[in-house]
Amino acid sequence: MGLVLLAIIWLITFFSTYFFAAKTWWLPHGAAKAASFIDHQFALTYILMGIVFVAAQGALGWLVWKYRDGASNGPVDYSHGNTTMELMWTTLTAVLFIGLNLMGSHVWASERFAPAAAGAVPVEVTGMQFAWYFRYPGADAKYGRTDPKLMDPSAGNEAALGLDTADAAGKDDVITGTMYIPVNREVDLTLRAVDVIHSFFVPSFRFKQDAVPGLAIHMHFTPTEIGDYEIACAELCGLGHYKMHGMVHVVSQEDFDKWLAAREAEKQ
């Protein structure tokens, strides 16, 4: 049975490690500024944890086989432990875990502690069962007032968000069901939810943030590649959670300006 255990534990270790190392399934292609650092930190963590994983499972399999009853080993080592070794592996683990943690903290800080840079593109994202809406404040750079009493999800866009047409700031607000943003410019995001919690997850941007009713959460990120990227809701929000899907189109500054101008024109 010792040999069987050794074989099973080692085989499980081998297959698990193989698929991690072969990158058969991996993080989606990164297309935002934060991606390269996050991916680097992920790779570092996975190499270190991978080494610990292989070493621990390898040792477990080997030890139970080597010290099986009936093998020609010496007598059992009557020992209650070894304080030096305890201290050694406690320190090593503490340094490894806490060190790893500190290394990642500056990226977390840069996206959250400081506000978006001046000149960032403002976009407000609103989640509701089961759709995403995107609002651009227009030339006045101000979002118009919305009124919960005016919200009519079945009518979509302006009506879904309950945009108050009496507010002058809202006259030039553009509201769409698909997100357009210019490449290589920071996006100044305001996240809202009207009913329950949703989570704005764009895997390619390494971006995820819950949208919470009652809160306006500010985040910023910078897309770095032109292309179309999928948005998936990542917080259970009700029966349509799995289809609360959206698209982000990252386009050139020129195309973005054209697109926004066309939407403004439609409004008039």
Interactions with other proteins, residue window 74-103 (CB under 8 A): 74-82, 85-86, 89-90, 93-94, 97-98, 100-101
- Using rule CB under 8 A, residue 212 touches other proteins: yes
Compute the least distance from the CB of residue 144 to other proteins, in Å. 17
- Using rule CB under 8 A, residue 58 touches other proteins: no
Residues 6+ apart with CB under 8 A from 233: 127, 130, 132, 198, 199, 200, 201, 241, 244, 245
DSSP string, 152-172: -GGG-HHHHHTB-TT-GGGTT
- Using rule CB under 8 A, residue 157 touches other proteins: no
Compute the least distance from the CB of residue 222 to other proteins, in Å. 15
CB atoms within 10 A of CB 173: 24
DSSP string, 7-66: HHHHHHHHHHHHHHHTTSS-PPPP-BHHHHHHHHHHHHHHHHHHHHHHHHHHHHHHHHHH
**Tokens standing for 171?**
């006259």
- Using rule CB under 8 A, residue 222 touches other proteins: no
Compute the least distance from the CB of residue 140 to other proteins, in Å. 26
- Using rule CB under 8 A, residue 37 touches other proteins: yes
Question: By C-beta, is 196 or 226 nearer to other proteins?
Answer: 196
Compute the least distance from the CB of residue 196 to other proteins, in Å. 4
**Binding other proteins by CB under 8 A: which of 14, 47, 243, 253?**
243
**C-alpha separations of 197 from 48, 152, 190, 193, 210 in Å:** 35, 19, 15, 6, 7
- Using rule CB under 8 A, residue 162 touches other proteins: yes
Compute the least distance from the CB of residue 255 to other proteins, in Å. 22
**C-alpha separations of 223 from 30, 36, 96, 162, 235 in Å:** 9, 12, 32, 29, 23
Residues 103-142 touching other proteins, rule: CB under 8 A, are: 104-105, 107-109, 112-113, 128-129
* Count of positions on this chain that bind other proteins (CB under 8 A): 102
- Using rule CB under 8 A, residue 255 touches other proteins: no
Stretch that binds other proteins, among 45-53, 164-172, 182-190, 251-259 (CB under 8 A): 45-53
